[in-house]
Amino acid sequence: MAIAVGEVVDGTVTGITNFGAFIQLPEGKSGLVHISEISHEYVEKVADHLKVNQKVKVKILSVTDTGKISLSIRQAKPKSNKPAEFEWNRLEENQKYMSFEDKLNRFLKDSNEKMDQLKVRDTRKQNGFKSKKMSNMEL
């Protein structure tokens, strides 16, 4: 069975690099999943998302004339647009007796903490991009 572009197949991670992961495909063929095609989320380190000998589903993006196979784990599984479910039963006992203002203050505090985390993540992304851009300009 020949590997066809657009097909989703099972594979095994055989190697991890800083730019992606090599995947063993059926019929002894292998391909590369670029770091940008590993997850719908930002991937800083490939090793945080994949391990050697891990089984994965991959989508075949392209096959060159020389036989290089480009793969995607991210496209093999659709991105979930479903919002995270909130477990109302997990509300803390003391929240039952909190005033509206106290609940609002707690919400604002939690919201600000999450926004700060997002800002830090975005700053890291931008700094990483700028440093790569700068190093390319220096060449």
Best-predicted range by mean pLDDT (28-37, 78-87, 90-99): 28-37
CA 129, CA 139: separation in Å to the nearest integer? 16
Q: Assess whether pLDDT exceeds 80 at residue 104.
A: yes
List Cβ neighbours of 92 (8 Å cut-off, separation of 6 or more): none
Best-predicted range by mean pLDDT (37-46, 77-86, 90-99): 37-46
Mean per-residue pLDDT, 42-67 = 92
Q: Assess whether pLDDT exceeds 70 at residue 131.
A: no
- Residue bearing the bigger pLDDT, 58 or 1: 58
CATH code of the domain made up of 8-76:
2.40.50.140
Mean pLDDT rounded to a whole number for the chain: 83
Which pTM does this prediction carry?
Answer: 0.56
Q: Which pLDDT value is given to residue 25? A: 93
pLDDT tens digits, 17-45: 999 999 999 888 999 999 999 988 889 99
Q: Which pLDDT value is given to residue 63? A: 92
Extract the tokens encoding 108: 């604002």
The domains of the chain are located at 8-76, 88-138
Helices (H), the chain: 100-138
